[in-house]
C-alpha cells in the first residue's frame, strides 16, 4: 500500500484517525441486544489449505462441500482470518498459497457469502499469528514512526475491507486484531498486565513489562482500525478481542481503559478455552452486560464445553453468538479424519488441571489427549454426535437453517 493512498484516505496520524472515527462512528442504540439471530459460528480458515492438498469432507457416507455440512449441522456463521503479508510469515513454509492473504480471503469469503452464511473477518495486523504471547509488526511496517503506524493501520484496514466489499465478500462483522489483551503491534501498542491472570506462563511474560507503549497508543491504533473498517463497510459491526473471557477483573480493566480513551467498538469478543474455577465465564458475561449495556459480546474462540458455553452466551440478551475455532482439526474437533478424531482432544477444563496451550500459545505445553492424524489431506467425516449436538442447539435457540442455493445442472 502506498503512502499516498493512505494519506488520501485521511489517516493523518492519531488526530486524523480520531477525526475519521468520530465521523464514521454510529450513535449507540439503546442497549446492545444481538443485531442478528444468535450466531452459531465456526472459524474454518484452514479449509482451503487442506482442500488444496486433497482433503475431502463427508456426511453420512456422501462427499459434500464442508460449508454445506456445517449448514446442515446448524451453523449459520463463518469467520476467517487474514494476515498482512503471509508470504513473509504464516505461509512461508506452506505449499501453495499464500494462505490467508487478501486474494485467498476474498475467494473463500465469496464462497461463504454465496452459501448464505453470516461472514466475519479477523485482521491479525501481522505477517504471522498474532496472539496473547506475540503481536509482531508486519515486516513492511517495522520501522514506521508511531504516527505513520497509526496511519498505516487505518489505511490497511480500509483498503482490505473495501476490496472485500467490491469483490462480493462484504463482511458482516470485522474484528480489529486477534486476542489483543496485551495490545497490538508491539512494542508501540503493547499494554502491560497489571492484574495477575493466575496462569504462570502468561504472568511471567506480561507482568511488569518495560518499554510498552501503553493504553494511549493502543487506543490510537484501535481507533484507526475501527475508523477504517467503518469507512469501508458502514453497516458491518466492529469487534475487539480479549482472550481472557474467564477473568472479569482483567477484562473490565481493559475495556474501561479503552472506552475512557474514546475507543468505540460495537462488541467485545472473548476467548473461552479454560476457566480458573467453574462459573468464571458466566460471571464475566453477566458482569459485562451490566457494566456495558451499550456493548454486545461473543465467545470469539472456544473448543470444548460446546453446549454449556453457548447456553451461557445465549442466555444474555447482549450475547451475540460464538465461534468454535477450527473445528475441522483443532482440539475437540467436530470432524473425524480418516476414522480418527481430527483434533488433539479436549484440554484440561480448569487451570488447576493443567494450562491449556490456547491461553499462552507457544509457552504452555500443548500436550494432546489423543494423537491427531499426520498431515491434513484425506477424508474428514463430521462426527454424528457433534452434528446432533449443534442441530439440537440451533433448534432450541429457534434458528432457521442456512439454505444453500440449489445448483443448476
Beta-strand pair 319-325/39-43: parallel
Which of 17-21, 35-39, 103-107, 297-301 is predicted with the least confidence, judged by mean pLDDT? 17-21
Dihedral (Cα; 32, 154, 187, 325), 10-degree rounding: 50
Let me know: does 40 contact 323? Beta carbons within 8 Å. no
* Calpha distance 171→191 (Å, rounded): 29
- In sequence order, what DSSP letters do the residues of 97-152 get, joined into one string? --TTSHHHHHHHHHHHHHTT-EEEEEE-SSSS--BTTB-BPPGGGTT--HHHHHHH
Mean pLDDT for the stretch of residues 122-137: 97
What are the E-state strand segments in 109-150?
A: 118-123
Let me know: does 22 contact 308? Beta carbons within 8 Å. no
pLDDT one-digit tens code per residue, 160-184: 999 999 999 999 999 999 999 999 9
* Confidence category of residue 213, pLDDT binned at 50, 70, 90: very high
* In the chain, % of residues over pLDDT 90: 83
Run of H or E residues at 389: helix 384-396
Q: Is the pLDDT of residue 25 over 60?
A: no
* Confidence category of residue 19, pLDDT binned at 50, 70, 90: very low
Q: Is the pLDDT of residue 49 over 50?
A: yes
What is the CA 318 to chain-centroid distance, rounded?
A: 18
Nearest of 273, 315, 277, 269 to residue 295 by alpha carbon: 269
Per-residue model confidence (pLDDT) at position 21? 42
Let me know: does 301 contact 325? Beta carbons within 8 Å. yes
Nearest of 244, 390, 279 to residue 324 by alpha carbon: 390
Q: Rg (Cα) of the chain, in Å, rounded? A: 20
pLDDT one-digit tens code per residue, 371-387: 766 789 999 999 999 99
340 three-state secondary structure: strand
pTM of the shown model? 0.92
Amino acid at each position: 500500500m502506498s503512502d499516498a493512498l493512505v494519506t488520501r484516505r485521511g489517516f493523518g496520524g492519531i488526530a486524523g484517525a480520531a477525526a475519521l472515527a468520530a465521523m464514521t462512528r454510529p450513535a449507540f442504540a439503546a442497549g446492545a441486544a444481538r443485531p442478528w439471530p444468535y450466531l452459531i459460528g465456526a472459524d474454518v480458515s484452514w479449509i482451503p489449505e487442506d482442500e488444496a492438498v486433497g482433503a475431502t469432507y463427508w456426511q453420512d457416507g456422501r462427499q459434500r462441500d464442508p460449508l454445506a455440512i456445517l449448514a446442515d449441522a446448524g451453523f449459520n456463521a463463518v469467520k476467517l482470518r487474514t494476515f498482512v503479508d503471509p508470504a513473509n510469515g504464516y505461509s512461508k513454509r506452506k505449499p501453495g498459497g499464500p494462505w490467508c492473504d487478501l486474494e485467498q480471503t476474498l475467494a473463500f469469503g465469496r464462497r461463504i457469502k454465496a452459501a448464505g452464511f453470516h461472514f466475519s473477518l479477523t485482521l491479525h495486523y501481522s505477517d504471522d499469528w498474532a496472539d496473547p504471547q506475540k503481536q509482531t509488526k508486519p515486516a513492511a511496517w517495522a520501522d514506521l514512526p508511531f504516527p505513520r503506524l497509526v496511519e498505516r493501520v487505518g489505511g490497511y484496514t480500509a483498503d482490505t475491507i473495501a476490496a472485500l466489499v467490491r469483490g462480493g465478500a462484504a463482511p458482516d462483522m470485522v474484528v480489529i486484531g486477534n486476542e489483543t489483551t496485551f495490545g497490538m503491534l508491539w512494542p508501540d501498542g503493547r499494554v502491560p498486565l497489571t492484574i495477575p491472570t493466575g496462569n504462570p506462563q502468561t504472568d511471567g511474560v506480561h507482568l511488569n513489562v518495560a518499554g510498552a507503549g501503553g493504553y494511549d497508543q493502543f487506543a490510537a491504533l484501535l481507533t484507526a482500525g475501527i475508523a477504517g473498517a467503518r469507512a469501508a463497510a458502514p453497516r458491518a459491526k466492529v469487534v475487539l478481542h480479549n482472550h481472557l473471557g474467564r477473568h472479569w477483573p482483567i477484562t473490565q480493566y481493559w475495556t474501561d481503559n479503552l472506552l475512557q480513551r474514546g475507543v468505540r467498538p460495537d462488541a467485545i469478543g472473548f476467548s473461552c478455552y479454560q476457566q480458573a474455577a467453574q462459573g468464571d465465564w458466566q460471571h464475566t458475561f453477566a458482569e459485562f452486560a451490566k457494566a456495558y449495556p451499550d456493548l454486545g459480546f461473543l465467545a470469539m474462540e472456544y473448543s470444548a464445553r460446546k453446549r454449556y458455553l453457548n447456553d451461557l452466551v445465549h442466555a444474555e440478551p447482549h450475547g451475540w453468538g460464538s465461534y468454535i475455532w477450527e473445528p475441522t482439526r483443532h482440539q475437540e474437533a467436530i470432524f473425524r479424519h480418516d476414522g480418527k478424531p481430527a483434533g488433539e482432544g479436549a484440554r484440561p477444563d480448569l487451570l488447576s488441571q493443567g494450562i491449556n496451550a490456547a491461553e499462552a500459545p507457544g509457552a504452555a505445553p500443548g500436550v494432546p489427549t489423543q494423537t491427531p492424524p499426520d498431515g491434513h489431506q484425506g477424508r474428514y467425516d463430521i462426527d454424528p454426535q457433534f452434528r446432533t449436538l449443534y442441530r439440537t442447539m440451533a433448534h432450541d435457540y429457534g434458528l432457521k437453517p442456512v439454505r444453500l442455493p440449489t445448483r443448476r445442472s
